[in-house]
Amino acid sequence: MSRTKARAALLQELEEAMRRSSAQGVLYGQTVANVAGIANSDLECMDILHLEGRVTAGRLAEVTGLTTGAITGVVDRLEKAGLVRRERDEGDRRKVFITVVPEAAMKIGELYVPLQQAMERVWSAYSEEELRLLLRFANEGYKGVLAATSALKGHLDTPPEKRPDLKMRKLPRRP
């Protein structure tokens, strides 16, 4: 097999392996939501709150892509479950800040422990230099996917007759 062919095969394997692991990651998240007894997007919001801390309802809508009406429902459910609290902003009384209730949120955090442990087990076999490579890739990959997402969204906003044709993708391997 020629040099560039070997690389092409490697890239295809890589693409498939990443798709598989990413799909499994989604499944893990669904299982967490299931065990926690909350909806999928409720968990997503908990995650955002975990990352960003104190966040307005509007920003949750922005980040999740849900309507503000849907966010009202999300926060209602999370509040009823004791996971978050609403706090009116005193400076601008239209705004509602959502904050996590740490003790309750920790119970959800625990559900990620199996995943963390599994990943730490995997990572333990890598040298620091290798880990740095993985980190670099994770960051660059993130940027790439982000760019691809807005490219695709842009494609959606473009009127059909003006859309540049996307190049064809390989057919299923088992047709």
Partner DNA sequence: ATATATATCTTAGTCACTAAGAGATTTAGC
Partner DNA sequence: GCTAAATCTCTTAGTGACTAAGATATATAT
Q: Which stretch binds DNA (CB under 7 A): 57-65, 116-124, 136-144, 145-153?
A: 57-65
Binding site partner of 100, from DNA, its own copies, none, Cβ cut-off 5-8 A by kind: its own copies
Find the part of the chain contacting its own copies (CB under 8 A) among 74-82, 86-94, 160-168. 160-168
Smallest Cα–Cα separation from 74: which of 46, 55, 52? 46
Using CB under 8 A as the binding rule, whether residue 158 contacts its own copies is answered as no
The only residue of 75, 78, 83, 108 in contact with DNA, by rule CB under 7 A: 75
Closest to 108 (Cα-Cα) out of 84, 86, 87: 84
Q: Pick from DNA, its own copies, none: which does 68 bind, CB < 5 to 8 A by kind?
A: DNA
Interface residues for its own copies in 55-84 (CB under 8 A)? Answer: 65
User: Distance between CA 82 and CA 74 in Å, rounded?
Assistant: 12
Q: Is 36 in the site for DNA (CB under 7 A)?
A: no
Q: How far apart are CA 99 and CA 59, in angstroms?
A: 13
- CA 37, 65, 147, 154 torsion: positive or negative? positive
Provide, rounded to whole angstroms, the least separation between the CB of residue 71 and its own copies. 16
Token match 């892509």: residue?
Answer: 65
CB atoms within 10 A of CB 103: 9
Q: Alpha-carbon distance 121 to 133, whole Å? A: 18
Q: Which of DNA, its own copies, none lies near 80, with the C-beta cut-off 5 to 8 A by kind?
A: none
Verify binding: residue 81, DNA, rule CB under 7 A. no
Residues that bind DNA (CB under 7 A): 39-41, 56-59, 61, 65-75, 77, 86, 91-96
